[in-house]
């Protein structure tokens, strides 16, 4: 990692690129919800188009809240070197409207210098949300933005949080007319030299949501308005420090997002242009408010946030470099809202490239911006980051976990940062979770599957587990980066590893074996050690494996029997 920075910094950047095309991927959990492509013009507002949207799956009811976990989405964008880009670009993010809920959106600008092969994308927040009957779900949208100077990458993450929490925000937002998120990015001059270590210029632009004319307010004046209050980002050679500046601002949007969307015309998107023509602009998500059945749709809904990531020019060049926006939203909430949409307004504007999807708009809900702990460190090492977080926790402060980081002796904050960093670094190396998982499985033994990596990055694991995983990942990643310096080839060789250890690989019994085991079980659910040994021999499985099988089988029987036994008819 270390070496990367310098390189990047030194890399000459082409400035004054005019247009950049960004692909914004909005994710919900692991699903890609939508891909937008944004054309950005350095000086002009860009238009946003929706690329494609893939639907999320719906899930289950468990309704079991279980608090406290965060999810991060990971992206696997292969990267290619990006050459020069304009340093700072104005970006506008339009907020889609959540139909039924407000989605917290976090916008983060990550000033990261990506290595040549990089294209990094980040995901940040997640949130689950729930709505209650009585009220429309409010999914607060929060934006946290950090922007870095130099060939930084701007990442806009729109993590959503719990709806509940946010509700307050939403409400507030609703009231406010000018809802909008203005991103500070706008106004950044291309002039800013990429390489220079000079501090980044900052200009703030506005990302405004305009409410649709109709129902609710009004106006596209937003564009007019310069900035929200103030997200000004001063990019500074964060790269050198490995620090990032974060900026957060939360805004509230007017309630009806939908409307806003429909009035797409009014929406401005900000663009980033890179030499490579990479721009990431956030677009508003389109959510269709679901029309309620039978009723006048009175409900308002949520909406979602996008994440826009600005990548440093270098990054932009990457063939692979994709920018993602991750939108976290509670599935349910989102879905709910989506379902409803009555009339989608699509606001696509000019789009260029590939896919696009229409925009659907209309939402009533509040847009909340939640502050986020978004510091991206370039290095894993602690400290060094300059979290010039402009944390402001918007209305819904709850979301943020600024929580004290440690719990049970585990530095959660540290883990969070590492997880975030890990992803960035992994992506920088152009490695997929699968590759990492396979390599680690080889060197560290099972328990490092792709799933595990995914879960770690999303922090969809317990702190304890994360704590255990962290050093392993850290070490491995450092090695991988080391080899990478010696060339891609070396990296790839490194990735194709060795032995394994640790947790025993989960055994997969053949159907036949299970049949045999079951027949033995029926005869005797508690075989003696001798019997176990024989059975193991017969089936050619490890004795311990067979022993455990019986243990688990007994357990399962007990668990299931409970059900059958009581279930009366």
Partner DNA sequence: AGCATAAATAATAA
Partner DNA sequence: TTATTATTTATGCT
Q: Within 70-109, which residues bind a second copy (CB under 8 A)?
A: 70-71, 96-101
Q: Tell me: does residue 312 bind a second copy (CB under 8 A).
A: no
- Considering only 53-61, 244-252, 281-289, 484-492, which stretch makes contact with DNA by CB under 7 A? 53-61
Q: Which partner from the list DNA, a second copy, none does 552 bind, CB cut-off 5 to 8 Å by kind?
A: DNA
- Residue 74 sits in the site that holds DNA (CB under 7 A): no
547 to 566, contacts with a second copy by CB under 8 A? 547, 558-566
Q: Which is nearer to DNA, 352 or 502 (CB)?
A: 502
Site size for a second copy (CB under 8 A): 155
Quick one: which of 74, 244, 443, 449 contacts DNA (CB under 7 A)?
449
Q: How far is the CB of 520 from DNA (least distance, A)?
A: 13
Positive or negative CA dihedral for 361, 367, 369, 370?
negative
Per the listing, tokens 């595990």 go with 452
Residue 309: closest CA among 338, 328, 283, 335: 283
Please give the residues from 501 up to 540 whose contact with a second copy meets the rule CB under 8 A.
Answer: 508, 510-512, 533, 536
Tokens of 71: 């999810």
DSSP summary character for residue 521: H
In the bound state with a second copy, the residue whose beta carbon lies nearer, of 74 and 291, is: 291
Exactly one of 63, 499, 506, 523 binds a second copy (CB under 8 A); which one?
A: 63
| Of the candidates 105, 15, 50, the residue with the CA atom closest to the CA atom of residue 372 | 105
Of 127, 241, 272, 283, which lies in the binding site for a second copy, with binding defined by CB under 8 A? 127
Residue 388, beta-bridge partner list: 245
Residues 463-502 that bind a second copy (CB under 8 A): 463-468
Quick one: what does residue 510 bind among a second copy, DNA, none, with the CB cut-off 5 to 8 Å set by partner type?
a second copy
Nearer to DNA, 290 or 447 (CB): 447
Minimal CA–CA distance to 85: which of 141, 18, 176? Answer: 18
Torsional sign, CA 515, 521, 522, 524? positive
CA–CA–CA angle 77, 4, 372 (5° rounding): 60
DSSP structure string for 72-125? ---------------S-----B-PPPPSSS--EE-------PPPTT--------
Is residue 464 within the footprint of DNA (CB under 7 A)?
yes
Residue pair 392/250 in contact (Cβ under 8 Å)? The answer is: yes
User: Residue 295 in contact with residue 369, Cβ under 8 Å?
Assistant: no
Give the per-residue contact string, 357-376, with a second copy (x = CB under 8 A; - = no): -x-x---------xxxx---
Quickly count: other Cβ atoms within 10 Å of residue 154's Cβ: 37
**Which entry of DNA, a second copy, none binds 451, CB below 5 to 8 A by partner kind?**
DNA
Decide: 254 and 211 in contact? Cβ < 8 Å: yes
Running DSSP on this structure, what letter comes out for residue 235? Answer: -
- Residue 261 binds which of DNA, a second copy, none (CB < 5-8 A, kind-dependent): a second copy
Rule CB under 7 A: which residues touch DNA? 28-31, 56-57, 59-60, 62-63, 65-68, 130, 132, 331-332, 446-447, 449, 451-452, 455, 461-462, 464-465, 468, 502-509, 514, 526, 528-529, 545, 548-549, 551-556, 558
């Amino acid at each position: 990692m270390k070496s990367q920075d310098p390189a990047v910094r030194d890399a000459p950047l082409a400035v004054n690129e005019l247009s950049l095309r960004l692909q914004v991927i909005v994710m919900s959990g692991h699903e890609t919800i939508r891909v937008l492509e944004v054309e950005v013009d350095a000086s002009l507002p860009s238009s946003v188009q929706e690329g494609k949207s893939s639907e999320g799956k719906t899930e289950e009811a468990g309704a079991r809240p279980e608090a406290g976990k965060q999810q991060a989405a990971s992206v696997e964008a292969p990267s290619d070197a990006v050459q020069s880009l304009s340093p700072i670009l104005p970006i506008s993010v339009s907020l889609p409207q959540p139909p039924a809920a407000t989605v917290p959106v976090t916008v983060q600008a990550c000033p990261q210098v990506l290595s040549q092969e990089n294209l990094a994308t980040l995901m940040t927040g997640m949130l689950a949300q729930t709505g209650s009957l009585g009220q429309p779900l409010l999914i607060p949208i929060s934006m946290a933005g950090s922007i870095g100077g130099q060939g930084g990458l701007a990442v806009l993450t729109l993590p959503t949080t719990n709806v509940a929490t946010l509700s307050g925000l939403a409400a507030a937002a609703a009231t406010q007319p000018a809802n909008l998120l203005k991103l500070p990015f706008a106004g950044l001059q291309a002039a800013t030299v990429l390489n220079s270590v000079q501090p980044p210029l900052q200009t703030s632009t506005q990302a405004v949501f305009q409410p649709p004319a109709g129902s609710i307010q009004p106006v596209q004046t937003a564009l007019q308005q310069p900035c929200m209050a103030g997200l000004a980002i001063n990019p500074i050679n964060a790269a050198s420090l490995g620090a990032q500046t974060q900026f957060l601002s939360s805004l509230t949007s007017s309630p009806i997002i939908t409307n806003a969307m429909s009035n797409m015309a009014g929406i401005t998107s900000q663009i980033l242009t890179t030499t490579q023509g990479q721009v990431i602009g956030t677009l508003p998500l389109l959510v269709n408010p679901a029309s309620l059945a039978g009723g006048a749709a009175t409900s308002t809904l949520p909406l979602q946030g996008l994440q826009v990531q600005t990548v440093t020019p270098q990054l932009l060049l990457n063939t692979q470099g994709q920018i993602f926006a991750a939108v976290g939203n509670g599935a349910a909430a989102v879905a709910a809202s989506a379902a409803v949409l009555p009339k989608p307004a699509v606001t696509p504007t000019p789009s260029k490239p590939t896919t696009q999807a229409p925009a659907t708009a209309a939402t009533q809900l509040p847009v909340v911006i939640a502050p986020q702990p978004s510091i991206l460190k370039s290095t894993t090492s602690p400290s060094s980051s300059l979290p010039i977080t402009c944390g402001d926790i918007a209305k819904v402060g709850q979301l943020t976990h600024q929580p004290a980081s440690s719990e049970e002796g585990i530095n959660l904050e540290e883990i969070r940062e590492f997880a975030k960093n890990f992803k960035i670094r992994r992506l920088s190396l152009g490695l997929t979770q699968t590759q990492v998982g396979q390599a680690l499985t080889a060197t560290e033994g099972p328990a490092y599957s792709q799933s595990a990596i995914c879960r770690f990055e999303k922090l969809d694991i317990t702190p304890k587990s994360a704590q255990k995983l962290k050093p392993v990942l850290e070490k491995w990643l450092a090695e991988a980066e080391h080899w990478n310096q010696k060339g891609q080839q070396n990296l790839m060789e490194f990735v194709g590893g060795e032995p394994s250890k640790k947790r025993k690989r989960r055994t997969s019994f053949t159907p036949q074996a299970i049949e045999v085991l079951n027949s033995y079980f029926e005869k005797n659910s508690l075989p003696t050690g001798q019997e176990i040994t024989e059975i193991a021999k017969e089936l050619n499985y490890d004795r311990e494996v067979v022993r455990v099988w019986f243990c688990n089988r007994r357990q399962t029987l007990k668990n299931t029997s409970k059900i059958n036994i009581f279930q009366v008819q």
